[in-house]
Chains A and B, each alone.
Chain A
Amino acid sequence: MSNVITVEPADYMTVAMARIIQDGERIFHGVASPIPAVAIQLAKKLHAKNAVYLSIAGYVDAVPSQFSHTSTAGAHLGEGAVSEFLLSDIFDLSARGELDVAFLGGAQIDQYGRINLSAIGSFANPKVRLPGGAGSAALLPTVKRAILWKTTHDKRSFVDKLDVITAAGNTAYVITPLAIFKRGNQGKLQLYSIFPYSSFDEVVEHTGFPIEKHDHFHKFHPITEQEFTILQEIDKNNTRFSEFR
């Protein structure tokens, strides 16, 4: 298949997210989330037609005709939606245990799937003040499954110790340009899958915490022609690459 199409890390990350989404699940993404936004549409066109898409725009099951390279919080993510469901409603849904999946990011991620989006250095006297965790401190402990992603995989991002614990909780998967981690024994992230161009050693080399293999560790199953065709249709203007700078 690789002689037919050129597949980039952003494609693998998007398809990996889509495959994790199950039919009928209620799914949320927030600001700065182009890969999840595309992945949700991809899953809904493939195996998860009854998944419920929720976003900051405040609508249910939008089918955006295009995505923005700048933002995933705009009213364009209401296109094709039938009903309203505001961000405050989404937080309430998660608070009462009825949100299935939230896509969340982290400037730093540790081996327990906890995240730092607050500061590098100390919180009170930061070396770098980060944007803040957005919804994560409320969502991560209450959503059924959080899927984290990060478009850089290095020792500055995947750390032994977070500078600040912005949020902790129900991280189920972490998706990077190299690999997929899955939460396993004792709540620790384990290496679940690696993308075809990546290797176990490469992941170890670029990760700041000890790597254990998950019981079902495997090479990522190649992206199918159907997945890739639909992915390109959904994301015509290639917004899934906009987090790679």
Chain B
Amino acid sequence: MSKLSSIQDAVQSIENGALLALGGNALHRSPIAFVLELIRQEKKDLSLIKTAGALDVDLLALSKSIRSVYAGYIGFEMLGLAQNYRKGVQNGEITVYEHACASVIAALRASIYGVSFQPINGFDGSSLPELTGLIKWISCPFTNKKTAVVAALKPDVTIIHTNIADEKGNAYIDGSVYEDLIMVKAARRTIITTEKVISSTEWKEKPQIPGFLVERVVHAEKGAAPGSCAPLYTIDDHEVHSYLKNPKKYLERKVAVSHV
């Protein structure tokens, strides 16, 4: 059976309060078309997992769709702070579970390995373990060495944007894969948005994501814009600046019509 889905149906399958992992890194290949549809359908109380997030998280903060964020970094790099995320946290609307990017990965790996926590080297001298409760110190049962462990993070749904996918869910990322493959393997279910849909008999590339791990495939051309999707398009600086200048106006314009 084909796994192809409209973006509307795919988003309807997301429950309020769900824990979502969003693929990509900073302004690169994050599932922006999907995020905008989450906002159109007024999803609430979402929790997000990212290593480094930017517009995706800030849009969902602006629309007051999120309750908490598990991430190492949320910002627009050289363009500055993620202002709506920042305000949401400062107002007490969003809880920040600040990780290191490495401990987001470790927490996802725990889920991949089917265990409830993962040892990680790091965090000595950092206040984050105490402040977030996400990292605890244990004594290694074999060596007695003091070791940091991080609680597992198991996304209800991982959403990643890819370059090519087929009707069976096999998907290929051209360019940087970031943490997407880890997010897919850790999740209860995965939704792919993709620039191009082909038939599973047409592959010239080797898909990194096997279809059996994927529940739905959504055709979403320019689905990462105004972020990049290499090698098809780079960051649309003009659009990103227009967002930063007037986020509400940008969101109203984008929510009014789906381009997918």
Residues on A facing B (Cβ under 8 Å): 30-32, 34, 56-59, 68-76, 78, 86-88, 91, 94-96, 114, 118, 123-142, 164-169, 242-243, 245
Q: Do A141 and B125 form a contact, CB below 8 Å, given A128-B90, A243-B78?
A: yes
Please state if A58 and B72 are interface contacts (CB–CB under 8 Å). no
A165 CA / B81 CA spacing, docked (Å): 19
A155 vs B81: C-alpha distance when bound (angstroms): 21
CB–CB A71/B125 < 8 A: no
**Residue B59 at the chain A interface, CB threshold 8 Å:** no
B235 touches A74 (CB 8 A): yes
The residues in B between 43 and 76 inclusive whose CB is less than 8 angstroms from any CB of A are 51-52, 71-76
Residues of B within 8 A of A164 (CB): 127, 131
Q: Is B15 an interface residue (CB 8 A)?
A: no
B28 touches A133 (CB 8 A): no
B28 pairs with A74, CB closer than 8 A:
yes
Asked if A141 meets B235 with Cβ closer than 8 Å, knowing A73-B28, A74-B230, A242-B78, the reply is: no
Residue pair A134, B127 in contact (C-beta under 8 Å):
no
Contact in complex: A58, B237 (CB < 8 Å) = no
Select which of A95, A131, A135, A136 is within 8 A of B81 by beta carbon.
A131
Contacts A74-B235, A123-B131; is A133 near B98 (CB within 8 Å)? yes
B14 interface hit (Cβ, 8 Å): no
> Contact at A71–B131, with CB atoms within 8 Å?
no
Of the candidates B26, B126, B231, the one whose C-beta lies within 8 Å of that of A165 is B126
Whether A71 pairs with B235 at a CB distance below 8 angstroms is yes
* 13 A-B residue pairings within 8 Å (CB atoms): A70-B240, A75-B28, A75-B228, A88-B179, A91-B102, A118-B98, A132-B72, A134-B101, A137-B100, A137-B122, A138-B100, A168-B125, A169-B125
Question: Total contacts A to B, CB within 8 angstroms?
Answer: 185
Known contacts A74-B28, A74-B230, A129-B89; is A138 also within 8 Å of B122 by CB?
Answer: yes
A123 touches B127 (CB 8 A): yes
Nearest B residue (CB) for A71: B77
Contact present for B235 and A73 (CB under 8 Å): no
- Indicate if the CB atoms of A126 and B72 lie closer than 8 Å: no
Task: Check B73 against A131 for contact (C-beta < 8 Å).
Answer: yes
- B231, closest chain A residue (CB): A75
Size bin of chain B's contact surface? 35 or more
Q: Which of B85, B177, B182, B237 has the most CB of A within 10 A?
A: B177
14 more A-B contacts (CB under 8 A) besides A126-B90, A132-B98?
A31-B25, A31-B77, A56-B178, A68-B235, A70-B240, A73-B77, A74-B176, A76-B234, A125-B92, A131-B75, A133-B126, A135-B72, A137-B100, A138-B102
Interface of chain A, main secondary structure? loop
Chain A contacts of B182 at CB under 8 A? 88
Taking the complex as formed, is B199 at the interface, i.e. its CB lies under 8 A from any CB of chain A?
no
What are the residues of chain A within 8 A of B89 when measuring CB–CB?
126, 129
What sequence of 0s and 1s flags, for each residue 213-251 of chain B, a beta carbon within 8 Å of any chain A beta carbon? 000000000000000101100110100100000000000
Chain A residues lying within 8 Å of B125, measured Cβ to Cβ, are 114, 140-141, 165, 167-169
- Complexed CA–CA distance, A143 and B102 (Å): 13
Bound state CA distance, A78 and B175, in angstroms?
A: 8
> With the chains together, A59 CA to B96 CA distance in Å?
30
Q: In the docked arrangement, what's the CA distance between A56 and B77, Å?
A: 13
Docked Cα-Cα span, A164 to B96, in Å, equals 14
Complex Cα gap A102–B102 (Å): 14
Query: Across the interface, do A118 and B128 meet the contact criterion of CB distance under 8 Å?
Result: yes
Residues of A within 8 A of B100 (CB): 133-139, 167
Which chain A residues border B25 with CB–CB below 8 Å? 31, 56, 73, 87
Q: Which residue of A lies closest to B174 (CB)?
A: A75
- On whether the beta carbons of B176 and A168 are closer than 8 Å, the reply is no
- Considering only CB atoms, which chain A residue lies closest to B86 in the complex? A129
- CB contacts (< 8 Å) of A131 on chain B: these are 73-75, 81-82
Task: For the complex, give the distance between the alpha carbons of A126 and B96 in Å.
Answer: 11
Establish whether residues A87 and B179, one from each chain, have CB atoms under 8 Å apart when the complex forms: yes
Instruction: For the complex formed, measure the closest distance between the CB of A95 and the CB atoms of chain B, giving whole angstroms.
Output: 4
Assembled-state Cα–Cα distance A30/B82 (Å): 17
Q: Which residues of A contact B71 (CB under 8 A)?
A: 132
